[in-house]
Amino acid sequence: MNFYDTRETRPLEARERELMERLPAQIAHARAAAPAFGRLLADVDPDSVTSRTALATLPVTRKSELLEMQKAARPFGGFAAVGWGSACRRVFASPGPLYEPEGARPDYYRLARALFAAGFRAGDLVHNTFSYHFTPAGSMMETAAHALGCTVFPAGVGQTEQQVAAIADLQPNAYVGTPSFLRILLDKADELGVKVSFTKAFVSGEAFPPSLRDAFAA
């Protein structure tokens, strides 16, 4: 069986050890580069946080608190270590609104591993139907697909007839999006007499009941 990298086959003890070894540097970076973390972690010795027990003692910021902190210090409330420019490729808005920066690191959201597990490989054409507006879902999947060497058609949601026409023309072999929208596309394709070219899919964002899984398998 193919694996994304050797991290997937390492012993649990090795995984735990690596995570704990990386924690102090991450905490020190956050404290030094992001003003809000600098305040929250002022009394924390980064070198002492090398276990789950120590990690559990760090202060927690709740979503409701984050909203107020962002309002007081736009755009990110002091929690981001980057500003506008090459280190921040995109900025998104989640309900609240809460604003989120996307960094420039390849596969920023670390989803390439999940797409690889679903069978996505270099050379695939991915029909990405997650939203590209306000929320990061479309970008999350696109950057993961790019990290694997895939090409992406940024379909987004809606416009089902135009999407089916694009599928017929481009013949993408991979789908990314919600399971319900995949069903909508398949039904529309049947209605229009178009044979859908998908041979693999990565679905997320909502429930995926057995009845729908069985329908896709059929």
Tell me the residue ranges of DSSP E strands in the chain: 88-94, 98-103, 125-128, 151-154, 174-177, 200-203
- 68 burial (CB, 10 Å; 0-12 / 13-18 / 19+) is exposed
| Per-residue pLDDT in tens (0 to 9) along the chain, 218 residues | 689 999 999 999 999 999 999 999 999 999 999 999 999 999 999 999 999 999 999 999 999 999 999 999 999 999 999 999 999 999 999 888 999 999 999 999 999 999 999 999 999 999 999 999 999 999 999 999 999 999 999 999 999 999 999 999 999 999 999 999 999 999 999 999 999 999 999 999 999 999 999 999 88
Q: Which of 175, 121, 126 is nearest to 153 (CA)?
A: 126
For 88, phi and psi rounded to 5 degrees?
A: -125, 100
The reply to whether CATH 1.10.1060.10 applies to domain 112-217 is no
Q: Name the one residue in this structure whose structure tokens are 């060497």.
A: 149
**Domain boundaries of the chain, sorted by first residue:** 6-88, 112-217
